Amino acid sequence: MQILTEPLLERISDYTLPVYTRVEYNNDSIVETAQYFKERIEELLVLLPSADHERRQQLIRSDVEIALREYHKYCIEIREGAHYVEVGATDTDFEHVIPVRLILGWLLDGRITVEEAFNAPTCYLSKDKHAELGRLGWGKSTPSAKDFWSRYTQVFPEIQIETCDGHKVDLSTWALPKHYAYFKIST
């Protein structure tokens, strides 16, 4: 059995790996990242309804989730940190206040826009509290989509949250429309 044919050897023998420029994360590269992921998700959302095979549908949903998570990592976490911060927490995790799978479901079902999905609430939550949410089964779900803070308040009734710019948040009244208005996201 011959593994490499002569023409294949000729095509690969003088190949040199290119050296790519290291990208600096600055405002320009973050804007480019945001635009890329927005366009990519919009393309995938157009493809999804015409995907006949369930495996292709799964792959498209997975690609949308990866793009959404990458956007959150590069355009929210690296650029701004998080929308919210647990008051007094020092050792924290970047956490989606509304679990990503719920955000993804809303997006795929057309209930929210790409811009709204990109700017769903995120929080720097203490590692201990984040782990406790997971242990109690709230890592990937929430008791209420309307009252998105209930994930925290039912488990940690005394928790205090503020915006990334230091505004105290009343968790009993701060709903999703107020989140988007505060961060100037059109809905």
- Render 108-172 in DSSP notation, one character per residue: HTTSS-HHHHHT--EEEEEHHHHHHHHHTT-SS--S-SSSTTHHHHTT-TT--EEETTS-EE-TT
Q: What is the pLDDT of residue 186?
A: 84
| Percentage of the chain lying above the pLDDT 90 cut | 78
For 98, other C-beta atoms within 10 Å of its C-beta total: 19
Give me the mean pLDDT over the 62-78 stretch: 93
Whether the per-residue pLDDT at 23 is higher than 90: the answer is no
d(CA 70, CA 64): 10
Q: What is the pLDDT of residue 4?
A: 57
Strand partners, 123: 84, 95
Name the least confident of 19-28, 96-105, 107-116. 19-28
Q: What is the pLDDT of residue 3?
A: 60
Q: What is the pLDDT of residue 83?
A: 95
Average per-residue pLDDT in the chain?
A: 92
* Local confidence band at 64 (pLDDT 50, 70, 90 cut-offs): very high
Q: Comparing 146 with 92, which gets the higher pLDDT?
A: 92
21-29 long-range contacts, CB within 8 A, separation 24+: 25/74, 25/78, 25/79
Q: What is the pLDDT of residue 171?
A: 96
d(CA 137, CA 98): 14
What tokens does 11 get? 């095509």
* Local confidence band at 183 (pLDDT 50, 70, 90 cut-offs): very high
Q: Comparing 7 with 160, which gets the higher pLDDT?
A: 160
Give me the mean pLDDT over the 45-61 stretch: 96
